[in-house]
Amino acid sequence: MDAKNKRRGRPSVNVEWPSNVFTVKDVVAVMGGKLSSVAVQLKINKSIENGLLVKVGRAERSGGRPGNTYRKLKTGEVCNVNPPVAVLDGEVKPSEEANF
């Protein structure tokens, strides 16, 4: 193992969330096969827990199960996760620091 590289395994892939409403399928298409739909869904769930994304609704598909739709929080918008957070200058901060 190389002395400089102390991390093992697959390198993490950063996802740039679309600014409009999107589904998992949309993100997978934009990523070009770098991530599977399961990996994207796990990243979406983690981002919802962290307060970066919010679930908007459900998208009806032609067949099968409907898919959930998500969107990024806007600057100054407060998310009701535990503890509550707000997005300020592109960073997620606890809502106590937000000073609204």
**Structure confidence at residue 28 (pLDDT):** 92
Greatest mean pLDDT among 10-14, 27-31, 64-68: 27-31
Flag whether pLDDT at 45 surpasses 90: yes
**Alpha helices per DSSP H over 1-100:** 24-31, 37-50, 95-98
**Taking 60 as the threshold, does the pLDDT of residue 100 lie above it?**
no
pTM above 0.85, yes or no: no
Q: Which amino acid is at 41?
A: Q
pLDDT tens readout for residues 31-40: 888 999 999 9
Query: What pLDDT is stored for residue 6 in this prediction?
Result: 75
Q: Judge residue 41's burial from the number of C-beta atoms within 10 Å of its C-beta, 0-12 exposed, 13-18 middle, 19 or more buried.
A: middle
CA 90 to CA 9: how far, in whole Å? 30
Q: What is the pLDDT of residues 3-18, one digit of tens each?
A: 566 778 888 888 889 8
